[in-house]
Chain A
Amino acid sequence: MNTLLEVSGVSVSFDGFRAINNLSFHMGAAELRAVIGPNGAGKTTFMDIVTGKTRPDKGTIRWGEKGISLLGLSEARIAREGVGRKFQKPTVFEDQTVRANLLVALRNRRGPFAALWWKPKPAELERVDALAETIGLAAHLDRKSGELSHGQKQWLEIGMLLAQEPKLLLVDEPAAGMTVAEREKTTAILVEAAKTRAVVVVEHDMEFVRRLNCRVTVLHEGSVLAEGSLDHVTSNKDVIDVYLGR
């Protein structure tokens, strides 16, 4: 399995607090991975570092077959390299229709002038319809996305990420606030997506992680505590200590 993302020896601290401490992590090209950990373990900061929002104090991040460094690249540049990110709260363009949201997200040239002259091609409109089908919003394409329910917004955001055609999808707590039925659908979408690309899911909810049925990385105090199948890590003594409290 060739490596898509390789994070090694990364540390970052805020005002003396070490949010990430000598963290190393790597991902294959088509893999589903769950990252779990208690509050303050550094899950969100880890995503911030990979997507370029936070710059680490030390360490390296290698990306893709050529192994280019993601350090020092802007968020937009990293996104164009093929890293998609879903935020914890649903973030979609609420003042715009579902269709517009998906059209904007479609993989395309990203410059302002390209955007100015852009016109949707029939193939692109079809792709939007197909994506809407995948995320179950085909009936809502012309509604403003602000009117959607919480779960629908989460799906729309995942749909936008898929439209972006990333090589790596970072998903932050997708199941938060969802009903059981919505969770099942979310799981299905993510598992399907992971067939063709790498997907990292950060999650609190063990039940949801179990349903994903994938390799699990446990973060604690900014570094990797354990890694392996869910059963493997839940039987790990350190992990139990961390979750149950010492």
Chain B
Amino acid sequence: MMIRTFKTALVVTWLALGAVQAQAGPVQDLLQEQGALIEESSRRTIGPAIEAIVDSGLERVQPVLQAWQDKALWIDAEGRFWRVIEKDGDEILVDVDTGAEAGPADTAAMEQIKPNSGIRALIGTALVQFQLSDPNPARRRAALESITRDPEPELLAPLRASIETEDDADLLARKVRLERLLTARFDEDEAARVAAIEALSTDAAVETRAALNPLLASRMVALPDGETPEGNVARELSPGGDRLSRAAAYGALVDAGLAPPRPSDAEIRAALEANRANGEVGGVAVAALGDPQARARAYDALAAEGLVAPRVEEADVEAALAAHAFFDVYAEPSAAVTDAARAALTSIGIRVGAMKGVDIGLDALSLASIYFLAAIGLAVTFGVMGVINMAHGEFIMMGAYTAYLVQQIIPDRTLSLIAALPAAFVVTFVAGVAMERLVIRHLYKRPLETLLATFGISIALQQLAKIVFGTQARPLTAPDWLGGAWIINDVVGISHIRIAIFVLALMFLGFFLFLMKRTRLGLETRSVTQNPGMAASVGIDPGRVNMLTFGLGSGIAGIAGVAIGLYAKVTSEMGADYIVQSFMTVVVGGVGNIWGTLAGAAMIGGLQKGIEVLNPSNTLAAQTWMIVAVIIFIQFRPRGIIALRGRAAGD
């Protein structure tokens, strides 16, 4: 401090003597003029100095400001300002006017100007106007982002000034929007603000809402009845209503000095504890204080002695609340602005709501695709063949683990994914065929026994996977081209992987339809399902058809497992997470009809996402109520959405 004062004195002396030896240059002169303020480095007084530098209009001012902000502006022993840059580990002096290097810097003999963070922010603001017109678009974009992050009234003028010269269309649009945001908040002219706010009301971006919300910031004011508050009143509040609890209203009265504070139960207790004497408090035995009424009596006695603040009865609170009125008053004084802001926010709210609806629709669609993928194998085994396979979920799991193993062998993600799909199909197809031959074949027409036996297999397979792969989740990584997301705007977006799953679901639907309607196997499957005896008599081997169909359904489950593994985690329990939902999808949709399965998946996915909207933080609750809704739905359509009727349905 001493040294600094001394040096300042020195500079002043030099100036007084007119013995300025610094290299000539307008920037150096400018800095010398403002030298005292710069060196003082106080946020309160620095304003004029920065202003003077900026207003000078000199070209070389920007790097100097930048250096100042970066703590790279130094004063040498003669009081001259230098920028100091680091080059190859050496510190080098740079002339503030010419930008030419002037040899190594002897920083030990120089003084560094260290602006505090407040000053740096001011310099930053000043710099923005240079950056806004910087020839480099990236710099301009950065400047806009900085303004968006940290809007200040001072930035409005430079921003406006820079709009005219902007030639990049995208940046121009952003500047115009930002100008509106700043105008709405900071312009002096009310009409201009209202106009800007109205222009913003069609804009649903997050930053628009962030800019408009502060305009509606309000505080609560409590006044004796009959008085009206000053300022821009938002609304009158009634204690105990939606916006103001009674406790908060009374608290406001206490804060405003309009009502005595109400001692809390804890305070009463503490006061009683502090005033114990001879086993009594206020004439009541301590042992009796377990009774709330005795406590009140004792405390009242203390209050009568003036030892504690008196209790406030519920009736007094009632009276105090009745005798006062409560208002929300906007911090923004202009009613026209707040009205416009409210209207704009409402209109934005509706737009955002609509977009959220679209977003939820996309979410529901992708969830439905996942359920559809998980259920489509069941649509074959359960829907067409009537075989209930509780190990279906484990086939999904096997598909996912197969993909994981393939990924261990083939490092290229895209290739491994392409290889994993047929591999998963083959593995689960073989498993399905084995299961059909060994177990299910012996239990046709005994669906409940099939259910139990396949559940036994499910338990065993799950535990085997746990033994082989451990309990922790195995990563199944998607190729990079599936990693991103398709962002439509601030509200609506969907990840590529979900789009891929949707496409996969559509492909499966097409494949299934083709298989059942156009191929020999489909024809044979349908005939065996409808009348095995007749099918056998026309030369179809029902055993073979059943085996192949079951294998096919299982194979589809395996491929679904790859898709689900990419989207969720691969664990031994991943199949169990989907099994109940998958069965519900088939049952709700209507057994024996692929379009029913599609409708079931859409309904279950839609229901779950729809319920999630009501309570977004809680997906468990959404699943719970989705299941309850499905149980109730079955009341009205026991045969599902798309029901076969009459004799074909098999009463």
Contacts and interface: CB of A to CB of B under 8 A. Distances in A.
A117 interface: no
B380 to A, nearest CB: 23
Interface in B633-651: 644-648, 651
Contacts of A53: 651
Contact of A17 (B644, B646, B651): B646
Interface string B208-229: 0000000000000000000000
Interface in A1-51: 14-15, 17, 19
A14 B645 CA distance: 6
Nearest to B644: A15
Contacts of B644: 15
A234 B464 CA distance: 71
Contacts of A17: 646
A222 to B, nearest CB: 13
B446 to A, nearest CB: 16
A33 B644 CA distance: 34
B270 to A, nearest CB: 62
A3 B181 CA distance: 87
Interface string A58-72: 000000000000000
Interface residues of B, number: 6
A19 B644 CA distance: 16
A53 B646 CA distance: 12
Most B CB contacts (10 A, CB to CB) among A14, A17, A53 go to A14
B410 to A, nearest CB: 51
| Interface SS of chain A | strand
A19 B647 CA distance: 10
A46 to B, nearest CB: 14
Nearest to B647: A14
A14 B646 CA distance: 5
Contacts of A15: 644-646, 648
A19 B74 CA distance: 103
Nearest to A53: B651
A29 B185 CA distance: 92
A15 B643 CA distance: 11
Nearest to A14: B646
Nearest to B649: A14
A17 B648 CA distance: 12
Contacts of B646: 14-15, 17, 19
Interface in A106-136: none
Nearest to A44: B647
Contacts of B645: 14-15
Interface string B611-651: 00000000000000000000000000000000011111001
Nearest to A17: B646
A17 B651 CA distance: 17
Contacts of B647: 14
Most A CB contacts (10 A, CB to CB) among B644, B646, B648 go to B646
Interface string B135-160: 00000000000000000000000000
Interface in A139-196: none
A14 B650 CA distance: 12
B509 to A, nearest CB: 24
B590 to A, nearest CB: 14
Interface in B255-286: none
A51 to B, nearest CB: 13
A200 B558 CA distance: 56
Contacts of B651: 53
A44 to B, nearest CB: 10
A14 B649 CA distance: 10
Contacts of A19: 646
A60 B55 CA distance: 98
A239 B16 CA distance: 137
B637 to A, nearest CB: 16
A53 B651 CA distance: 10
A14 B648 CA distance: 9
Nearest to A12: B646
Interface in A71-105: none
A14 B643 CA distance: 12
A14 B644 CA distance: 9
B135 to A, nearest CB: 75
B191 to A, nearest CB: 70
Nearest to A45: B647
Contacts of A14: 645-648
A14 B634 CA distance: 21
A17 B645 CA distance: 11
B571 to A, nearest CB: 44
B645 to A, nearest CB: 6
A181 B647 CA distance: 34
A9 B188 CA distance: 85
A238 B146 CA distance: 95
Interface in B220-247: none
B183 to A, nearest CB: 67
Interface in A196-231: none
B647 to A, nearest CB: 6
B309 to A, nearest CB: 67
Most A CB contacts (10 A, CB to CB) among B644, B647, B651 go to B647
A17 B647 CA distance: 10
11 contacts: A14-B645, A14-B646, A14-B647, A14-B648, A15-B644, A15-B645, A15-B646, A15-B648, A17-B646, A19-B646, A53-B651
Interface of A: 14-15, 17, 19, 53
Given A14-B648, A15-B646, A19-B646, 8 more contacts: A14-B645, A14-B646, A14-B647, A15-B644, A15-B645, A15-B648, A17-B646, A53-B651
**Which 8 pairs from chain A and chain B are nearest by CB?**
A14-B646, A15-B646, A15-B645, A14-B645, A14-B647, A15-B648, A17-B646, A53-B651
